Structure 1
Amino acid sequence: MKSAMNFILKLFELLKSDPKTTIAKYIFFGGIGLRGIGQIVYEFSDKDVSHTFTFSDGIDYAGYLLIFIGIILLMIRFFTIKNNPPTLAYGVGIENMDIHSPLKAIPSYERYDCIELSIPEINSYDKNKLLETYKFIQTLINSRVENKNSQKVYIGALGSFPYLFLLGALFRNAYSHIQLLDYDRHASGGGKWYKLPPYNESAEELFHKLMYEDKSIEEKIHELIENELDEVGIALSYTFPVNKKAIPEYLRTNILYLEHTYGIGHDKLSNEEAQKKLINELSKYISLFADNGKKIHLFVSAQSSICINIGKSYMNNSHGTLILHNYDSSTRKYNWNIKFNKNNVN
């Protein structure tokens, strides 16, 4: 009885929410509209109180065909989701974090069969704890013991930039479809997880801008490449301005300081299209430095989905060694870093 009820509930959610199922639903009802199941006519007359009941089979083979196709498509979609359930990876990277699981951010028709991947809760602002847990997380993601049939993964995580980057980098090769979730701390009624919408609704052009200097990004990159120092940095001021004084002094003048045209602030890049645009630019800058033998330091102030996306965009053959810096808000310094190269960390 319970399994039958679950079947009905899941089918109802599919009919209500899933775009592919909606197409099948319209095909099915289109068949009914073509009188594929016949017609019933009832007539009533006040004079002499007469009644007429007529049934016409109204056979329309096109209608029957559409009904059949609609039912088949509904069943295919149902069992496709059932046999390839999505995975939800929830990363708790803040000590004593009291934030609910992002399960409700997943479309309702996918929740019933969703597999929750239990990433260990850690204090990701502690370098030693992050390094201790990294190998376990790597094995957990790559082995796919709990979710071997999943092709799609939803990722929602909060924590330090190095932690979020590492999650994105680990998931990038393990799944064919990665959907990022983000957390809106300022949502009405308290914080709320949400799925990044695919399109950018703003008509304003989006691109990176160089901070503090009156020159183009390309000119600054050329200057940094020509510098004798074999280390350069990229500082992304998306949520807050990166504190120049917090950066190690030897590197402070060898940094590509970047912001974007939407301005510094919370949740300015809460859609896939905008994030992809900026991360493609960032990837190009990293590749230019790596191709010239530079080690690249990353100082990032951005919302969690951006940090995960930067890790997800890492390319083994193009990005070389990245040095991921953690910012300590209590001391206002970058107090530790992790070197990352092709999933190897230290």
Structure 2
Amino acid sequence: TLYTGIVIYAPALALNQVTGFDLWGAVVATGVVCTFYCTLGGLKAVVWTDVFQVGIMVAGFSSVIIRAVVVQEGIERIVNDSYYGGRLNFWDFNPNPLQRHTFWTIVIGGTFTWTGIYGVNQSQVQRYIACKSRFHAKMSLYINLVGLWAILACAVLCGLALYSIYKDCDPWTAKQVSALDQLMPYLVLDILHDFPGVPGLFVASAYSGTLSTVSSSINALAAVTVEDLIRPYFRSLSEKKLSRISMGMSLFYGGVCIAMAALASLMGALLQAALSIFGMVGGPLLGLFALGILCSFANETGAFVGLVSGFVISLWVGIGSQVYPPLPERQKPLYLSTAGCNISSGNLTSTENPLTTVFNAPTAER
């Protein structure tokens, strides 16, 4: 539920930046919409809305990428700026596990993270089970792989475009955004403000990913509660009553996820928080399933003790990383410049070409 809260909060932040819509009003509206169609439509509604939402996500990313390429007069300039700015560093083989981002931490950590997501995550597994056959389940995964690569590639290109456009006038360093998560909406407003409706497409793209994830999570939580905690102990309940209980649980978990969005607002960088949650929860669960698959001599007591121990250790590490952030030398922060920003008469003017954007500087800057 905490991860789902992060997913609800992120696009609400984007909507707040792009339209000025009240942040918490957007959070509540997002949670209510997801809960509504998940409660009434169940897994089928979740899956079919996901299909259409992927198209919207790609369209939103594409609009930003295409406009950025036009602004920077070609993809070569974006790639060159990113390369010479140190943003394309694939071959850092530093074996130190405490270093934040290296080849080994990304590959090894990413392997276990994605294995946990696709191997033991309830919202994914229930989709495999809902397929007609094992063949259909495998084909759905292959199709998903192509879509996932496309979305990740678009996200990376948007990040490179963001750096290329603002490499000489970083909005974060210049205090034009109050949080790093606001940089992408800031870019959209800057380069697409002359195209009515297109910034809205970006918001729709952000919300498509949210609706997909939140509805899947709510449906999975309700299904697990009914099948594992209610059905085994109340065998006299009819399918109709269980269906109503499932709908009630969807409403309950929808409310919990909205509440968790408030906690997500206190967790700093949202991507880091989301990955931390996947590691804290997914790691012990993946270990439990691996134990059951690979060790025939494992018993119930050992599995339970191992799961609890794994949760304790992973929560200790994860919460500790939030309370005591890594040292700057471990994070290897990259250089950000404001040399291209002209500060005069209380205004901050970016001299980036071909766009010239004027922003009001905070009073403290004047």
TM-score normalised by structure 1 residue count: 0.21
Relative to total residues, which structure has the larger strand share, 1 or 2? Answer: 1
Larger Rg: 1
Higher relative contact order (CA 8 A, sep 6+): 2
Relative to total residues, which structure has the larger helix share, 1 or 2? Answer: 2
